[in-house]
Amino acid sequence: MAVIRFGVSVESNLLERFDEVWKERGFVNRSEAFRNLIRSFIAERELEERGEVVGSLVILYSYGTSGVDYRLNEVEHAYWQKIISSMHVHLDEHNCMEVIAIRGEGGEIRKIADALIGCKGVKQGKLVMTPLRME
Amino acid sequence: MAVIRFGVSVESNLLERFDEVWKERGFVNRSEAFRNLIRSFIAERELEERGEVVGSLVILYSYGTSGVDYRLNEVEHAYWQKIISSMHVHLDEHNCMEVIAIRGEGGEIRKIADALIGCKGVKQGKLVMTPLRME
Amino acid sequence: MAVIRFGVSVESNLLERFDEVWKERGFVNRSEAFRNLIRSFIAERELEERGEVVGSLVILYSYGTSGVDYRLNEVEHAYWQKIISSMHVHLDEHNCMEVIAIRGEGGEIRKIADALIGCKGVKQGKLVMTPLRME
Amino acid sequence: MAVIRFGVSVESNLLERFDEVWKERGFVNRSEAFRNLIRSFIAERELEERGEVVGSLVILYSYGTSGVDYRLNEVEHAYWQKIISSMHVHLDEHNCMEVIAIRGEGGEIRKIADALIGCKGVKQGKLVMTPLRME
């Protein structure tokens, strides 16, 4: 397999920090760290195109903020047939973590996740997708 | 052990239906069915007095009804240190089932459960308590 | 509505304790406490005959005991299309609480619940059923 | 801020696929896609060093495979004070998805996650960490 060398431009402090982190994580050199990032990035995208997958969306929000409770429930019910169930943890007096299990086509799951992450009041959201049928 | 016979007054149609049900459930006679009900009733109460227990509260509600989403979240966060986590299932376009795991003294769990069941918009609520330390 | 008075036989100490508990719980007399118990007993049964319901089964077990982890998973997978999801809480080094949400006909849910409660190693199990469509 | 240009070596087909994906995802050029990947990679690492965080570990496994049910339960109970609760979804006759909510120091959460992902029979595992206190 042909190996290609190409140039990348990044801010110097970002590159410095990156170099520290990949060393700590045990990569042998910068290119290996990049190959690893590239592979994950592609794998994630391919899942979206792969037919039925199952997604776990982790969101953090502060309850009560501008009706976020209601809005999340509204979006979830609009897609209730795709959403298996969710687990809710009260982190403290104000903050909630919710993990929402979603089943469907990759693109569809991404759309539902984006709608939930986009609700005003949601501070953070991260979607993990995994293929339903594994070899 | 002395056995006592005493009288109970109930509506005739209620008694008729009761007789059908205990026969279907396989009790040998009416008194045996009553003894079973009495024992469960007492056991439930004793759990409340027994120190640390774990409760599972099952509630059903229709999302969006008069701010029920927000109110439930508000009550749950007021007791967030007692609430372990909850699982939410979207039953259809409107209805939700939520199972809330609560850890604490029996009486306290009962109080939290009553506060949640009492939220306007909650259609049904049932608390199951179990002792934390089992022999 | 005609009211019928009939006799019930129970052990004297059980009756004494019952009298204490219904007073604490605020019932006005013994017959009222019984009517309440009868109504719940009938309502539970009627749910089983009512078409689609949703059940929450709460079980307690000690992990590792004679393969209980595997057996529960085996039973749950045999009925995987009826089981929505489950929530698991680790109560301490050994004990687990699991709440399993099941959707189906009442009789079927009862059957699945009995199969899970019957797994060797399960210390306690309680099923709460609720109608899927509420008026 | 100084921008540095440096070289990276990757297999030509991996680079081709990467170029397709970042275009689809809407990045303006290859360097921007890399900067984005670098930032996420660093952010993830910094969470591990940041004190108390909450992690959601998503694992997929096939129940029954070489005692995986028992082993997962064993590891989870060893860390039961850090594990808040878990949600389990039966994907089909054999496959399970489990989302485990863990609370603790970042490094500790990573260790628990690695122990669970490393259990024989686990096909896939992905950890999402989020800071407990958000600004």
Q: Does C132 touch chain A (CB under 8 A)?
A: no
Q: Which of A76, A36, A52 is nearest to A130 (CA)?
A: A52
Residues 6 or more apart from B67 whose CB is under 8 A from it? Answer: A70, B120, B121
Q: Which chain D residues are within 8 Å of B84, Cβ to Cβ?
A: 84-85
Is residue A45 within 8 A of residue D20, CB to CB? The reply is: no
Residues 6 or more apart from B42 whose CB is under 8 A from it? Answer: C14, C17, C18, C21
ipTM computed for the complex: 0.78
Q: What is the pLDDT of residues C65-88, one digit of tens each?
A: 778 888 898 899 899 999 999 999
User: Residues 59..98 of B with a Cβ closer than 8 Å to C: which?
Assistant: 60, 62, 84-87, 89, 91-92, 95, 97
Task: Tell me how far apart the alpha carbons of residues A84 and A95 are, in angstroms, rounded to a whole number.
Answer: 23
Residues 6 or more apart from B2 whose CB is under 8 A from it? Answer: C11, C12
- Fold annotation for A52-131: Alpha-Beta Plaits (3.30.70)
Is residue B5 within 8 A of residue C16, CB to CB? The reply is: no
Give pLDDT tens digits along chain D (135 positions): 799 999 999 999 999 999 999 998 888 999 999 998 999 888 888 877 777 889 999 999 887 777 888 889 889 989 999 999 999 998 888 888 999 999 999 889 989 999 998 888 888 888 988 877 654
pLDDT for position C14: 93
pLDDT for position B101: 95
A neighbours by CB contacts (3+ pairs under 8 Å): B, C, D
Q: Which of B15, C13, B125, D6 is nearest to A34 (CA)?
A: D6
Domain boundaries of chain C, sorted by first residue: 12-48, 52-131
Across the interface, do B14 and C35 touch by the CB < 8 Å criterion? Answer: yes
Q: Does B29 touch chain A (CB under 8 A)?
A: no
Residues 6 or more apart from A43 whose CB is under 8 A from it? Answer: none
Task: Kindly state the tokens that stand for C3.
Answer: 């009211």
Q: How far is C68 from chain B (nearest CA, A)?
A: 16
Across the interface, do D93 and C77 touch by the CB < 8 Å criterion? Answer: yes
B neighbours by CB contacts (3+ pairs under 8 Å): A, C, D
Cα separations in angstroms, C81 against C76, C104, C109: 9, 9, 12
Task: Tell me how far apart the alpha carbons of residues C109 and C97 are, in angstroms, rounded to a whole number.
Answer: 19
SS3 assignment, position C98: strand
Residue with tokens 């995987």: C80
Residues 6 or more apart from B62 whose CB is under 8 A from it? Answer: B68, B94, B95, B96, B121, B123, C134
Task: Tell me how far apart the alpha carbons of residues D53 and D76 are, in angstroms, rounded to a whole number.
Answer: 18
Percent of chain A topping pLDDT 90: 46
Helix axes A30-48, A12-24, angle to 10 degrees: 90
Burial of A17 (0-12, 13-18, 19+ CB in 10 A): middle
Q: What is the pLDDT of residues C21-62, one digit of tens each?
A: 999 888 899 999 999 899 988 888 887 777 788 999 999 888
Report the mean per-residue pLDDT for chain B. Answer: 88
Q: What is the pLDDT of residues B107-130, one digit of tens each?
A: 899 899 999 988 888 888 889 888
Burial of A120 (0-12, 13-18, 19+ CB in 10 A): exposed
Across the interface, do D37 and A42 touch by the CB < 8 Å criterion? Answer: no
Q: Which chain C residues are within 8 Å of D88, Cβ to Cβ?
A: 85-88
- HEC states along chain D? CCEEEEEEEEEHHHHHHHHHHHHHCCCCCHHHHHHHHHHHHHHHHHHHCCCEEEEEEEEEEECCHHHHHHHHHHHHHHCCCCEEEEEEEECCCCEEEEEEEEEEEHHHHHHHHHHHHCCCCEEEEEEEEEECCCC
Global pTM reads 0.81
Task: Tell me how far apart the alpha carbons of residues D36 and D33 are, in angstroms, rounded to a whole number.
Answer: 5
Among candidates B7, B8, B38 on the partner chain, residue whose Cβ is nearest the Cβ of C14: B38
- For residue B129, the cross-strand partners are B55
